[in-house]
Amino acid sequence: METREDAATWKKAAFEAYDSTAGEYAARRDDDPRLAVQLAIASDMLRGEHGRTLDIGCGTGSAFPMLRAREFDVVGIDLSSRMIAFANERYADDAGIQLSRGDVEFLPFATGSFDAVTCLGVFESLPDYTPAMREIARVLRPGGLLVLSIPNRISPYHITHDVAHATVWRAWRVMKPMLRRGASATAFTPTMRARRCIPWRLRAELARCGLSPERDAYTNFLVYPLDVFWPRANSVLSDLLTRMSVVRIVACTGCQYMVAARRA
């Protein structure tokens, strides 16, 4: 069981990681093809829904055009005040978008005040999903829909990536300063840990919090280390795996897991 101190440490690391890179995030995030795929899946999961939606971890507002195209009124929150500032600048002329700084575990909204919630790229910053799930269930109206996206722990990409970084890359980081004459220590840069999900456990946890999973999908089929050393080959293989993802066992290799769950 994670303590509140653990949660605070994780969220502090996430805040530092995103707040310090908000400008670069604003400039490049919308051009990420992996995000475009996730937004297309989220849009499909929201088909037939309407009303008021809460976008948790909205960043600089990358999901807002998709949500507005679905004719939602949008409330966006993010832990980073710099992200909110960039989003405010981008969408200042849209009266259907409201923005504020907020924490997924302590949502400053009334019970049952949203018809839908989107949460793409937030849960991996939390050591314990349950408090956030309970808060989301609280602010959703009965019958409201959550669309959640989180990295998939059982993806071969993440497994091989973690093994390589724990062995080969760790050894290289130790040896590299020794190979430089008079090398000085580098400054500490905050890094963000990521808690990836096991999909069936995530669905069970959602159900325990009053959120009934209805649909799911896997996306972002990457192959490590091809994505680093041979991006073109990785792209070809990724396209092939995407086409084959209608087969469940192939789909499970996707780096990202998405699920739509309805408030009971």
In sequence order, what DSSP letters do the residues of 198-256 get, joined into one string?
-HHHHHHHHHHTTEEEEEEEEE----TTHHHH-HHHHHHHHHHHHHHTTSHHHHTT-SE
Q: Mean pLDDT across the stretch 51-76?
A: 97
64 closest CA partner among 34, 99, 105? 99
Look at residue 164 in the predicted model and tell me its pLDDT.
54
Q: Is residue 59 part of a domain?
A: yes
Domain count, the chain: 1
Q: Is residue 182 part of a domain?
A: no
Look at residue 21 in the predicted model and tell me its pLDDT.
84
Query: What tokens does 112 get?
Result: 């049952």
Burial class (CB in 10 A: 0-12, 13-18, 19+), 195: middle
Look at residue 190 in the predicted model and tell me its pLDDT.
32
Expressed as residue numbers, the domain containing 57 is 4-152+190-220+256-263
Q: Is residue 213 part of a domain?
A: yes
pTM: 0.81
Q: Is residue 92 part of a domain?
A: yes
152 closest CA partner among 191, 203, 190, 105? 203
Q: Which residue has the higher pLDDT, 170 or 129?
A: 129
